[in-house]
Amino acid sequence: MRSVQFVILFALFCSTAAAEQTVEYDWLTQGKVSGRLELVIHDDGERSAHFEFNDRGRGPSLDERYRVGADGLIKFYETHGRAYMGAPVDERFVFEDGSARWKSELESGRAEGGLDAFYLANDATPEQTAALARALLAATDRTLRLWPSGTARVEQLAEVVVKHESQSVEANLFAIFGLGFGPGYVWLDEDRELFAISSGGMGLTRAGWRDVLPALAQRQRAAEQAHFRQLASELTHQTPAALCLKNFSVLDVDGGRTMPASTVRIEDGVITAVGADDSIDCKGLATIDGNGQTLLPGLWDMHVHTSADDGPLHLAAGVTSVRDLGNDHDDLTAVIEQFEQGRAMGPTVYRAGFIDAAGPFAAPSDNLATSLDEAMAYIEQLDTQGYRHIKIYSSIAPEWVAPMADEMHRRGIRLSGHVPSGMSTAKAIRDGFDEIQHINMLFLNFLAGPEDDTRTPLRFSLVAEGAGGLDLGSPEVSEFIALLDAEDIVVDPTVAIFDNMFRHRTGEISPSYAAIADHLPTNVRRGMLAGRMDINEDNAARYAASAQALLAMIRRLHEAGVPLVPGTDALPGFTLHRELELYVEAGIPNADVLRIATAGAAHVLGMDDSVGRIAPGYAADLIALDGNPLDDIGAIRNTTMTLKGRRLYQPAALHRALGIQPFAEPLPPPDVRP
């Protein structure tokens, strides 16, 4: 009898004791494996993970370990390694004796009392998203406080059974709110373990299951579109066919002056008259009283990679037109349709196609050529799809540039992009470039040698190390700028991202967003403590000098007549404001900066006869500001109204919907005057 009891007890022990388990995941870029996550669930319940991926020589490498209590709340957490751009990561959290304590390269703190919040790490593996989802699902109302700050909640949106070979998994889609400007998404299996993540052209799946990601991504897009459709329905105001904007100080972008006490009459989304208040007939028309605020054309961002969740941020910042410089054709087409049909809020999108060459540092794109003939075929394809502008990337072979440029120009297509590795910027211009993306590409003309592989992050570090020592008054630099001017080369500096990269030390608020950080959701603000590069006492002064050199180059370009266009390639809206602010810091007059960001950008795209000015016949893409940006460029952050044709948006309402504290109160909606 005793032996039978022993057998039963042993069997029960074996069935309840958890054996160590390892779960492998693939990180995918454009459907191809580019990294991995290895999760180990130890027999005592502790979990450890290693996560890394390679994105054109960039990417994180993190080792993580954590334990949770019965309620899923983290009791111990640590991670170390490097962040996406190489900054060091060393983070630790512990809850013991009624006290929570945390410390990282970014911040430190403590909280006393019970374990009643979930610790949200700064740099974590995807496993932490699943851990948070599990804790939220176990919580009252599926809502939890977060340490160091904030609140999160979770909603289940879908349940899908996916199959692979002889196996099937019940994949459940969850939306987590409270971490950013909108929901984040994660797929868990029936045991609430991480199964997949879909994020644009990247994603993660259980190892061997990558073929199911497109179906999951499609279902997730449907949920995202429903979210955007609801926001658009709640926050878009349709104006009457005829509308007057009265008592505004109207900016003349060509004259660089404002016209006080002015009225703009609009019919069917087009400006029909502009003049003094008493000279425009608005009798019986719906009217918006500007109360002396500044009215200017909507701003342009000439370097974005569009997604539907960017739209409200653009519009709230007064950005009514953007140029997309590289996207999946089908995804971009779908987003443009959402914006145009009002199923999502967003600006007018002007498209540029994209081509790179296949290789270890290729961009995440479907258009990766393995030969010049294949690159030519992509040009033909993009032409057929209606693209009048193509951007090329760093892996393109230098000897391909001239024939590709000739073919594009024969078809009436502009060529821009990164200067291919192994090619000087001057040679790229002579071979047919019409525009250069990113100010670092100009400096690489002088700082990169033939052995330097600028497909890698070397294109950042070379400039960080050497730009400050380059003599911008030298004959070589002067000849180069003269070449840009003679060939009418447009420069898209995106200087805000480099200023941030070269001057942002981990643990401090990013200089790009210091003016607005306190308005942002708490966990977005926390993310702005993370530096991009490893800046230390040895290199800080050198990197800061290089940041100043970038601004000095921009001033020289402007003074030489080289056309500039304002682009960001970063956080929508807010980064454009910083980009324009840096142009002013560089020494460009406010009036010129505002022209660059409106009519100047429209001119580069051949649209300046219909967009970018406040004049009869121009589109009613207009914004109102509480303040005068001719006096203080920072006034562009105080947007009180964004008008896009007949769609009117109140930036304060958009900001509140995104968890952002507004910068200015909105103008009242139009009323009908007798």
Condensed to tens digits (0 to 9), the pLDDT of residues 235-291 reads 999 999 999 999 999 999 999 999 999 999 999 999 999 999 999 999 999 999 999
- Phi, psi for 127 (deg, rounded to 5): -60, -30
Span 143-157, mean pLDDT?
A: 95
In the block, tokens 């393995």 appear at: 370
Distances (CA, A) of 362 to 59, 111, 153, 232, 372: 14, 45, 37, 36, 15
Give kind and range of the element (H or E) at residue 501. helix 495-503
Two tokens, residue 216? 């999951």
Indicate if the pLDDT at residue 146 is higher than 90. yes
Span 102-118, mean pLDDT?
A: 92
What does pLDDT average to over the chain?
94
Residue 239 near residue 643 (C-beta atoms within 8 A):
yes
Give the pLDDT band of residue 6 (cuts 50, 70, 90): very low
| Cα distance between residue 654 and residue 661, in whole Å | 10
Q: Output 510 or 347, whichever has higher pLDDT.
A: 347
Is 202 among the domain residues?
yes
Q: What is the structure's pLDDT at 86?
A: 83
CA within 13 Å, CB half, 348: 19
Span 302-320, mean pLDDT?
A: 97
Residue 375 near residue 369 (C-beta atoms within 8 A):
yes
Is 397 among the domain residues?
no
Residue 135 near residue 115 (C-beta atoms within 8 A):
no
| Cα distance between residue 322 and residue 305, in whole Å | 9
Q: What is the structure's pLDDT at 364?
A: 87
Give the pLDDT band of residue 445 (cuts 50, 70, 90): very high
Give the pLDDT band of residue 673 (cuts 50, 70, 90): very low
pLDDT tens sequence across 370-426 = 999 999 999 999 999 999 999 999 999 999 999 999 999 999 999 999 999 999 999
Q: At what angle do helices 495-503 and 574-586 cross, to 10 degrees?
A: 80
Two tokens, residue 488? 């009418």
Residue 399 near residue 421 (C-beta atoms within 8 A):
no
Range of the domain at 226: 19-234
Overall number of domains in the chain: 1
Span 159-172, mean pLDDT?
A: 93
Residue 237 near residue 648 (C-beta atoms within 8 A):
yes
Two tokens, residue 241? 């066919």
pLDDT tens sequence across 528-567 = 888 888 899 999 999 999 999 999 999 999 999 999 999 9
Two tokens, residue 118? 């979930």
| Cα distance between residue 672 and residue 661, in whole Å | 30
Two tokens, residue 400? 């391909």
The 3-state DSSP class for residue 531 equals coil
Residue 459 near residue 439 (C-beta atoms within 8 A):
no
Is 577 among the domain residues?
no
Contacts by 60-67, CB closer than 8 A, 24 or more apart: 60/84, 60/89, 60/123, 62/89, 62/123, 62/124, 62/125, 64/121, 64/124, 64/125, 64/127, 64/128, 66/128, 66/131
Is 490 among the domain residues?
no
pLDDT tens sequence across 461-511 = 999 999 999 999 999 999 999 999 999 999 999 999 999 999 999 889 988
Is 98 among the domain residues?
yes
Q: What is the structure's pLDDT at 80?
A: 95
Q: What is the structure's pLDDT at 513?
A: 92
Is 315 among the domain residues?
no
Percent of the chain surpassing pLDDT 90: 88
| pTM of the predicted model as reported, rounded to 2 decimal places | 0.92
